[in-house]
Structure 1
Amino acid sequence: MIAIARKNLSCLVLSPNSFLCNSNLHFLPPIHFFSTSRINTLAPCADIHDVLVNKHQFLPELASRLPKFRDPQKADSVLSFLKENSFTTAQLQKLVMYDPRILGFTIEGLESKFKVFQDLGLSSEEIAKMISSNERILQSSIAKKIIPNLSMLKGLLGSNDDVARLLKRLSWFVVHDLEKTLMPNVEILKRCSIPMERILHLLYGLPRAFLVKSDIMRRSVDKAIEFGVPRTSVVFIYALCVFHFTGEGMWEVKVQTLRDLGFSDDDVLAMFRKQPSVFRISGNKMKNKIEFLIATGKFSVSSIVACPVALSYNIERRLGPRMQILRL
């Protein structure tokens, strides 16, 4: 019997085509879930569905999509631990559907990661929100990724409270390669004569802008300077964000849209220097807002150039209702 079991197990591991051709399987568990020391767990276990649905209130259709090669007791202990640490059912479903291997994690490993964040002063609710918004945190190594990144952030920001404040804004700092993004980008801005106090203010305000590759940051800085945005101005970082995430082709489309509506190139530059974040919206949305404002008879091209921030507001929720009030 042992020989037969070993033969079957060998076929199971070495013949993946049989799994790939099976239309009833929606997910192929990683190979490391299979072990010759745990042959008894290879048989499909219907109890895992009961644990997920009946005890932890998972949606049946979601639970049925998970692989059956699970230890229901271990899965139950993992989910119970996370619930005790303020995870909601919706957050748990999101985590498990993103990576079902979470059900096989050890409680000791989870506890050690939670303690690192608790030591920063984060509450269990804040940790749950942070992890559920960035599932890679649970997959990341404490020694190789999480602790080095947190130490780097503390050295830059100065205290655990400041690190916690930044992670509440954007949890990607836990798992990103900060040595290739954040740290060189801070140095680039310092070389632009931007005070460190201002850089940190910008970091809290627009954290995503600091997680691009350093060559993108250099290119964006050069363009912002070329467009005449003052490096000491608070809008400088907003100009960088526009260039970070807007390619040359998309930029030309937006500029041409403004030209077609009667704006000169000088008008475009003036608008960008005053309110660069306006240029993050699509060309179509920009066109619709300009046409809406001009159609009221109260706005002209020159008035929009003088106050471009109007283009950052939603027509239905902000511009339209206010125009109705002004008509009264």
Structure 2
Amino acid sequence: MSNVFRTILLLRSPSSAFSHGFSDSPLKSLRYLCTSSEIVSSPKSASLPSNPVQLNNNSKAVIGLLANHGFSESQISDLAKRYPKIFSMNTEKILSPKLLFFQSKGLSSPEIVKFVCSVPCVLTGSLNKRIIPSFDYIQAVLGSEEKTLTAIKRFPGILGWDLRTSVGPNIEILKQIGVPDSNISSYLQRQPKMFLTSSIRFKEAVERVTEMGFNPQRLQFVVAVFALRSMTKSTWDKKLEVYRKWGLSEEEIRFSFRKNPWGMRASEDKINDVMGFFVNKIGCEPFFVARRPLLISLSLKKRIIPRGYVYQALVSKGLVKKHANFTTLFNSSEKRFIEKYISPHKEQIPGLLELYEQKLMDLEDEQVIFVLKEAQLVFN
């Protein structure tokens, strides 16, 4: 049946339901499609209802239901393209109860629309056997409906899992190692998707993090577990090799990881590029950068390179001390950066703001590559 709906609902002709709203005119075209020789001769034609108008009315009912819940025509059209199965579902028994459930939990119409459009399959799972039990499980762990909604908004797809068998064992592993419930719930609320992994891989990550000296009582332990879990062992080894090429020891690399585990999630190229810019263009020592792993996660194009030019100008004029408040300079908000590092020095360095804004505008991809090549980033 989904093939038929794909044919019906993906029409882009001027007379389609999505070009002229939800009028009766599309039914003529739909009825024609359902009785055409092309569809009748389809191997799946036997699964079609005997009355094609009934099929058309069902799709029209789904469209009406979604429209009443705030979905726009373009959003409905997109759902039809990505998940046509929805348009063959019973509105009263299947779709409407799910939308009303989300509404009863405090989600607004725009939130429900965003929710469904991001993960359409959430409407296909059983309300009583999957959606409600998953919602209740998250709420039992987090302790409040408000926190549960925050977690679900971050990753709606979590409602499609049996959380007692997927998330439950991983939470138990953390508890057994001594991770406080508050740290578990905090991370489940912020990164629910991270808990959806095999318990075997999850336990391996926990053991490796423990060996590295992380304290299970600290939230950083959980962060490190999920940072490791997000990459394979071979990927981890490749990133270690990049740092080694910059002369860092194993202990220095581990120090960097302990300070900011998410810094290791950057690609090998990104690590290499950032290290190269700070070492060869700014004049930092490799371990100086590694001790500030937050720098690795910043954007080269929007943050590091343009602010690097400002930093060099300020240092050359003696307006800031070399490497003083280094992380703050590169990590502060745009407003704070201009207030602290540009505005106070307009007289000493005329055109400093213009220089900075121009670098932000000019740094297209090819110019970023040029700057990085100047920093001699390619290893021989």
- Tell me if both proteins adopt one fold, taking TM over 0.5 as the criterion: yes
Which residue is equivalent to 1:50? 16
Is the 2:18–2:77 contact (alpha carbons within 8 Å) kept by the matching residues of 1? no
1:46-90 Cα offsets, whole Å, 9 max, x none, are 999622332169xxxxx99xx857733332221122122122334
* SS of 2:165 mapped into structure 1: coil
Name the SS of the counterpart of 2:16 in structure 1. Answer: helix
2:297 to 312, 318, 325: 312
Note if contact 2:147-2:189 (Cα within 8 Å) is conserved in structure 1: no
1:241-320 matches, within 5 Å, as 241-320=226-305
Asked whether the equivalents of residues 86 and 128 of structure 1 are also in contact (C-alpha less than 8 Å), the reply is: yes
Answer yes or no: is the 8 Å Cα contact 1:157–1:200 preserved in 2.
yes
**TM value normalised by structure 1:** 0.79
1:228 partnered with 2:213: yes
Q: How does 1:167-246 map to 2 (within 5 A)?
A: 167-246=152-231
Check conservation: 1:47, 1:72, Cα contact below 8 A: no
Moved more, 230-239 or 187-196: 230-239
What does residue 159 of structure 1 align with?
A: 144
Q: CA deviation at 1:297?
A: 3.4
1:56-205 correspondence to structure 2 within 5 Å: 71-108=55-92, 109-205=94-190
Q: What TM-score, normalized by structure 2, do the two folds share?
A: 0.68
Q: Which stretch shows the higher mean deviation, 185-194 or 269-278?
A: 185-194
Matched to 2:109, the amino acid is S
Structure 1: gaps (5+ residues):
1-12, 14-26, 34-41, 58-62
Q: Distance in 1 between matches of 2:58 and 2:16?
A: 13
> Contact 1:51–1:76 (CA<8 Å) still a contact in 2?
no
Q: Write the distance in 2 (CA, Å) between the matches of 1:81 and 1:212.
A: 35
Number of residue pairs the alignment of both structures matches:
284
Q: Say if 1:104 and 1:52 are closer, same or farther in 2 by CA, change over 3 A.
A: farther
Q: Give the drift of 1:269.
A: 0.9
How many Å apart are 1:154 and its aligned residue?
Answer: 2.4
Write the distance in 2 (CA, Å) between the matches of 1:135 and 1:145. 15
Distance in 1 (alpha carbons) for counterparts of 2:216 and 2:141: 21
Could you tell me which amino acid in structure 2 is paired with residue 52 of structure 1?
F
1:260/1:142 CA distance change after superposition, 3 Å: same
Tell me how far apart the structure 2 counterparts of residues 135 and 96 of structure 1 sit (CA, whole Å). Answer: 10
Asked if 1:28 corresponds to 2:28, the answer is: no
User: 1:254-280 deviations in whole A, cap 9, x for unaligned?
Assistant: 111111121111111111111111111
Offset of residue 317 of structure 1: 0.6
Inter-partner Cα distance in structure 2 for 1:46 and 1:254: 47
Which residue pairs with 2:357 in the alignment?
none
Partner Cα distance (1:47, 1:309) in 2: 51
**CA contact 1:224–1:236 (8 Å) conserved in 2:** yes
Q: 1:161: how far off?
A: 2.3
Aligned to 1:8: none
Question: In the aligned structure 2, how far is the partner of 1:46 from the partner of 1:243?
Answer: 46
Given that 1:120 and 1:163 are in contact with CA atoms closer than 8 Å, whether structure 2 keeps it comes out as no
Q: Is the 8 A contact 1:78 1:103 kept in 2?
A: yes
Q: Say if 2:134 and 2:163, in contact at 8 Å, map to a contact too.
A: yes
Identity between Structure 1 and Structure 2 (%)? 24
8 Å CA contact retained: 1:180, 1:214: no
Unaligned runs of 5+ in 2: 24-28, 40-51, 314-380
